[in-house]
Amino acid sequence: MLRCSRRCRWYLLVALSAYLTEQPPPRAANLAPPREGSTVVIDGVSRAYPASAGPAAGVFGVYGTLAAGSFVTVSGPSGSGKSTLLNLVAALDHPTSGRLVVDGRDIAAAPERDRAQYRLRLVGCLFQDAPLVGELSVANNVMLPGLLARSDRRQVRRRAGELLERVGLDKQSDRFPAQLSVGQRQRAALARALMNRPRLLLADEPTGNLDRATGRQVMELLAGAQQEGCTVVVVTHDPEIAAAGDQNLRLLDGRLVA
């Protein structure tokens, strides 16, 4: 594991800030145009953890197909394996057995370099705690995936402005995460997740830390992403949200029961 001192982290942040503000490179790639959502086939997927791993919840023999452009909810009690399944679809973890086929390709068997490109270019992730980079402004947080994908910086800035306006944060673009409310940080994280126009948007308890009104705003934004063609998968404890999807996967003790 790479270890980095506080000073080292500071220099990395300075370098990243410089990268965000320097002039666009002459051969930058264009942002991907709007595209259809991904089809995901979960083929007998299991993920078992050793006892030494602690209380991680595994999944066992899960089958299912998530249709392109659908809104899928994943529900179940705490410890049922919901987040584990989402991490597997996001290629943040490897299954112990089984296949995860996205648009005809088994991402579980793909080399790590290809899995990294899949995460960057085809998948958007939204987590409950909205982990923004505290030392970057809201606008630079949103721009980050586009810049990492080497997209044209002028297009990235334009796209970030459009997304911040869509989520109602265009007036807060120069603020830092610590200056935002919890709901504003979640909306900024959603804008960041949408930067590269993902085909698959994965949200893990996106309303868990929000009041009801703000949670409803976030769900409306996720529904808007689906209307643009994105396949949306939402992990939730909320029975109202679970029932609102085109398809609900219910897990119990790591196994699919509905």
Mean pLDDT in each 10-residue stretch from start to end of the chain (258 residues)?
46 49 49 74 94 74 96 95 95 95 95 93 90 94 93 95 96 96 95 96 93 92 94 95 95 92
CA 236 → CA 243, 247, 253, distances in Å? 10, 13, 16
pTM: 0.86
How far is residue 148's CA from residue 29's CA, in Å, rounded to a whole number? 11
Q: What is the pLDDT of residue 209?
A: 87
User: How far apart, in Å, do the first and last CA atoms of the chain sit?
Assistant: 39
How far is residue 186's CA from residue 182's CA, in Å, rounded to a whole number? 6
What is the DSSP code (8-state) at residue 30? P
Q: What is the pLDDT of residue 118?
A: 94
Q: What is the pLDDT of residue 11?
A: 43
Longest dimension (CA), the chain: 53
Q: What is the pLDDT of residue 129?
A: 84
